[in-house]
């Protein structure tokens, strides 16, 4: 809900957050807001401090009485910042000072919802530790009466857990390091879920009620990195029209996650080393030292030890981070988890699209098993989303719904292993089978040559499209 007596702010915020997938209601008065909240539960409220019929402090108390779990963010003018800080001490989640900036709003909203998820998971974790849960696990056949690590980590269904040996070891390490205050290096290929692992470590640590701040170091230029990490004062450089709080200050008391940390410039690495050693920061353009209390988790898709050897990363900074290292295996090394991920992603997409996505054909499963998944779990999720969108409701998901690169890889795997299903089911000396095999190979090669354009394929094969479609059905080629 957005509460502001300026209709333009209500309209702009509503449209902006709506475009980013949030359901938004607006009102211009505190009394109307309370009436709406009695009829409907809101996860988050953006509330202007100065309203015509009340003020933010009183409204905050009323909202917390109605629903203590609702997150309240105060919108305030520059002159009311001290009041807003006081309200944060009294239960508001955070505040935004005018003028409002879209990126700042969106980051704070996402951070607030991450906090809400953390609270839910923490409550679920407490529930898991109750005696009745232990007895249920015994009935489910767990010999030592303990819940599986994946169950102890999360009951919110936000995460998908594998059951392979690699996944089990990963969960064990997360459970082991989460309660400590160790710095952690997470190493894994792109798309393996490094940020999800960092979230889990934070959510099950002693800092879970405090902020989790994620920063993508791969997208930061040398000039921006210092400002994003440490903040800057107004007028510190051209374009610094306001004071900015950096990631370290935002994460005070909680966890700072630095993704692709090896991309930071040498100068920033030096500054980062000093911050870790001294536990103080200086905003750009300021001489004042600000104490910080932050747990640091870093991630990289290349081994930091190898970056050190190549001279791209400081060895002393590496050893500061390397109190505990977690390796996330790529999807190709845990194919036994594939069906679990696919089923879960299909369930998620069915809720998103509000449609039945149907079953996956045997040929698609075979393609999934042979594919190397260079984009790992992220790529798998995107493939499932695309396939469900392209497949009509209640129909099976076939090869035609898969991306081109997957089809080409699948065809190539058959070219490397020319024994197809046709040869497997009949005598290899049978003339009819040999002819069908040759026809199958020719059609596959032509389809690949024309990027699976059936009209062009029919022209090259010197047959009409209807004949080509009949042969595709006969030979069970689903492109």
Give the per-residue pLDDT at 432.
Answer: 62
Give the per-residue pLDDT at 162.
Answer: 77
Q: Find the range with the poorest average confidence among 49-63, 229-243, 275-289.
A: 229-243
Structure-token pair, residue 363: 């040929």
Per-residue model confidence as pLDDT tens digits over 372-431: 898 899 899 999 999 999 888 888 898 888 888 888 777 766 555 444 444 444 445 556
Per-residue pLDDT for 138 more than 80? Answer: no
Q: Find the range with the poorest average confidence among 20-34, 94-108, 202-216, 252-266.
A: 94-108
Give the per-residue pLDDT at 139.
Answer: 35
Per-residue model confidence as pLDDT tens digits over 98-119: 777 777 788 888 888 877 776 6
Q: Give me the percent of the chain exceeding a pLDDT of 70.
A: 84
Per-residue pLDDT for 237 more than 80? Answer: no
CB 75 within 8 A of CB 98: yes
Give the per-residue pLDDT at 150.
Answer: 45
Per-residue model confidence as pLDDT tens digits over 349-367: 888 888 888 889 988 998 8
Q: In whole angstroms, give the CA distance from residue 227 to residue 222.
A: 10
> How many Cβ atoms sit within 10 Å of the Cβ of residue 93?
19
Q: Do domains 2-100 and 334-401 have the same CATH topology?
A: no
At 295, the pLDDT band (50, 70, 90 cuts) reads very high
**Topology (CATH) of 2-100:** Rossmann fold (3.40.50)
Give the per-residue pLDDT at 218.
Answer: 80
> How many Cβ atoms sit within 10 Å of the Cβ of residue 448?
17
**Topology (CATH) of 418-479:** Arc Repressor Mutant, subunit A (1.10.10)
Tokens 């090869």 found at: 399
Q: For residue 250, give the nearest of 96, 45, 69 by alpha carbon.
A: 96
* Highest CATH level, class, for 119-327: alpha beta
In terms of DSSP bridges, do strands 184-187 and 295-300 run parallel, antiparallel, or are they unpaired? parallel
User: Could you tell me how far CA 113 lies from the centroid of its own chain?
Assistant: 13
Give the per-residue pLDDT at 152.
Answer: 43
Per-residue pLDDT for 183 more than 90? Answer: yes
Per-residue model confidence as pLDDT tens digits over 253-268: 999 999 999 889 888 9
Per-residue pLDDT for 148 more than 80? Answer: no
Choice between 434 and 97, residue whose per-residue pLDDT is larger: 97
Burial of 211 per CB tally in 10 Å (0-12, 13-18, 19+)? buried
CB 312 within 8 A of CB 262: yes
At 128, the pLDDT band (50, 70, 90 cuts) reads very low
Give the per-residue pLDDT at 284.
Answer: 86
- Average pLDDT value for the chain: 81
What pTM value is reported for the model? 0.57
Is CATH 1.10.10.10 what the domain over 334-401 is classified as, yes or no? no
Ordered by start, the domain boundaries in the chain are 2-100, 119-327, 334-401, 418-479
Q: In whole angstroms, give the CA distance from residue 74 to residue 95.
A: 4
Q: Give me the percent of the chain exceeding a pLDDT of 90.
A: 24
In terms of DSSP bridges, do strands 290-291 and 280-281 run parallel, antiparallel, or are they unpaired? antiparallel
Q: In whole angstroms, give the CA distance from residue 466 to residue 403.
A: 24
At 147, the pLDDT band (50, 70, 90 cuts) reads very low
First to last CA, the chain: 47
């Amino acid at each position: 809900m957005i509460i502001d007596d300026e209709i333009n702010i209500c309209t702009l915020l509503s449209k902006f957050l709506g475009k980013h997938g949030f359901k938004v209601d607006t009102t211009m008065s505190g009394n109307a807001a309370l009436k709406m909240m009695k009829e409907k539960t809101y996860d988050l409220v953006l509330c202007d401090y100065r309203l015509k019929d009340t003020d933010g402090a009183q409204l905050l108390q009323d909202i917390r009485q109605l629903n203590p779990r609702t997150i309240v963010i105060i919108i305030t003018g520059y002159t009311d910042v001290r009041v807003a800080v006081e309200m944060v001490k009294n239960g508001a989640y955070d505040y935004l000072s005018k003028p409002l900036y879209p990126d700042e709003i969106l980051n704070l909203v996402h951070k607030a919802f991450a906090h809400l998820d953390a609270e839910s998971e923490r409550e679920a974790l407490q529930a898991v530790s109750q005696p009745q849960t232990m007895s249920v696990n015994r009935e489910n056949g767990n010999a030592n009466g303990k819940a599986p690590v994946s169950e102890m980590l999360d009951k919110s269904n936000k995460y998908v857990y594998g059951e392979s040996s690699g996944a089990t070891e990963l969960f064990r390490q997360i459970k082991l390091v989460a309660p400590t205050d160790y710095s952690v290096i997470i190493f894994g290929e792109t798309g393996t879920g490094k940020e999800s692992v960092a979230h889990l470590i934070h959510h099950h640590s002693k800092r879970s009620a405090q902020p989790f701040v994620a920063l993508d170091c791969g997208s930061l230029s040398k000039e921006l990195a210092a400002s994003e990490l440490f903040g800057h004062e107004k007028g510190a450089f051209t374009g610094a029209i306001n004071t900015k709080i950096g990631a370290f200050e935002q994460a005070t008391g909680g966890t700072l996650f630095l993704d692709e940390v090896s991309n930071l410039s040498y100068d920033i690495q030096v500054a980062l080393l000093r911050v870790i050693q001294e536990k103080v920061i200086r905003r750009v353009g300021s001489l004042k030292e600000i104490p910080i209390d932050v747990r640091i988790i870093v991630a990289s898709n290349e081994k930091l030890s190898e970056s050190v050897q190549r001279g791209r990363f400081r060895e002393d900074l590496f050893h500061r981070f390397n109190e505990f290292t977690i390796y996330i295996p790529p999807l190709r090394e845990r194919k036994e988890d594939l069906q679990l991920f696919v089923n879960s992603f299909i369930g998620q997409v069915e809720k998103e699209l509000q449609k039945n996505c149907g079953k996956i054909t045997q040929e698609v499963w075979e393609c999934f098993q042979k594919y190397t998944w260079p984009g790992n779990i992220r790529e798998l999720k995107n493939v499932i989303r695309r396939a469900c969108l392209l497949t009509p409701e209640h129909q099976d998901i076939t090869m035609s719904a898969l991306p081109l690169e997957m089809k080409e890889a699948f065809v190539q795997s058959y070219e490397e292993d020319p024994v197809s299903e046709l040869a497997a089911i009949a005598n290899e000396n049978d003339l009819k089978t040999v002819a069908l095999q040759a026809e199958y190979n020719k059609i596959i090669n032509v389809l690949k040559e024309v990027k699976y354009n059936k009209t062009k394929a029919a022209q090259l094969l010197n047959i009409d499209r209807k004949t080509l479609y009949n042969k595709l059905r006969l030979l069970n080629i689903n492109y």
